[in-house]
Structure 1
Amino acid sequence: MLTHLSSRCRLLCLSLLAATLAGCAGSNGGARPQGAAAANAATSADSLAQTSWELVRWAQPGGVLRDIPHGDNGEPVRLTFLAQGKQYRVNGFAGCNRYMGSYKLEGGKLFINAPATTRMACVPAERAKLEADYLRGLSAIDTFTLDSGGAPRHLTFNLRGGDVLEFERRQDPPTP
């Protein structure tokens, strides 16, 4: 009796292991990755969930680099992706103000809805312009890439106007 039960237990464990491995194999979410990191682009909204990023480089069309100022207290321009159930949210700091919104990945494209912001005064004028352009850019992502599928460290947004925003991963937010 004990041998028969042990055989059933082994069979059940092997079946569960096979089902788990089959579930992990090849679900690519239908993304059409672009650019140099195409093979490693994110394939689901969950690929970005619970990650935090700092804007480290902004190249305008023609390759001209744009200065990226920090906030008054030295806080960098940040973007954080959060997920709770099927709710996908973004928040961050845009140079003067904090922002929040939602995101989704559909048809291989990342969509960030026009974020709402706090309304702090933004001085100097260059920082106010960068903040406005950055927030507009979040709603104009043409393609995006991640440097690796497992634990990406570099995120790039290619905007419809030709600008390229590059982010480096920072300390991730806690999982809810």
Structure 2
Amino acid sequence: MKYSFLLCLLSVVLMGCSSTGTVNVDTLKYSSWQYVSEDSDAETQPIQFEFLDAFRVNGFAGCNRFFGQGEIRSGQLFVSNIGMTRKLCDEATNTYEDEFLNLLQIGAPLQYSENELILEGDVKWRFKLVKGHFD
């Protein structure tokens, strides 16, 4: 009897520890991410971003550096008050950058695992966890 009770208790504890894939501000704070391109011939530099104090978002969008205020609502990442540098790059890079930044402004549904973050828009933007911070 005691053995079966302990077994049941252990299984409940272990289920409570498993990852649900849900993400919140505390989950992402102080983490850095880099875009994983499906196109191995892509000539653009990878998008990189990180979540800082007070959930500020800072990063590189392919041509320009950007920053803004992050928020997670109903499983979506929103970045408001986006500011950025204003370098002009080739048309393909500018389009790529605009698509990403627009997705952040309108809200991107999140999928999260320990080493991967996926932002869903018209396409899936897949990011891998990077150790340390970007300069």
TM range (shorter): 0.7 to 0.9
1:98 corresponding residue in structure 2: 65
Q: Which residue type is aligned with residue 55 of structure 2?
A: Y
Q: Output the CA distance in 2 between the equivalents of 1:140 and 1:165.
A: 15
Match of residue 120 from structure 1: 87
Q: CA deviation at 1:141?
A: 3.1
Contact 2:77 2:104 in 1 (8 A): no
1:28-86 C-alpha deviation (Å, 9 max, x unpaired): xxxxxxxxxx82221x211110011111136xxxxxx7x75434xxxx21011112xxx
How far apart are residue 125 of structure 1 and its match? 1.2
Opposite residue 70 of structure 1, the aligned amino acid is: T
Residues 21-100 of structure 1 aligned to structure 2 (within 5 Å):
39-42=20-23, 44-57=24-37, 68-71=42-45, 76-83=46-53, 87-100=54-67
Structure 1: where are the runs of 5+ without partners? 1-25, 27-37, 59-64
AA aligned to 1:88 is: F
Q: Is the 8 A contact 1:154 1:168 kept in 2?
A: yes
Query: What is the CA–CA distance in structure 1 between the aligned matches of 2:117 and 2:86, rounded to whole Å?
Result: 27
Letter in 1 for 2:25: A
Unaligned runs of 5+ in 2: 1-15
**Which residue matches 2:106?**
140
**Higher alpha-carbon Rg:** 1
> What TM-score do the two structures reach when normalised by structure 2?
0.74
What is the RMSD of the two structures over their aligned residues, measured on CA atoms? 2.5
The CA distance in 1 between the partners of 2:80 and 2:43, in whole Å, is 24
TM-score normalised according to structure 1 size: 0.58
**Native 8 Å contact 1:114 1:138 kept in 2:** no
Q: Deviations over 1:65-112 (max 9, x none)?
A: 7x75434xxxx21011112xxx21001111111000011123333222
Instruction: Measure the CA separation in 2 of the matches of 1:41 and 1:53.
Output: 17
How far 1:128 sits from its partner (Å)? 1.2
CA deviations on 1:98-133 (whole Å, 9 max, x unpaired) are 0000111233332221521101121x2111111111
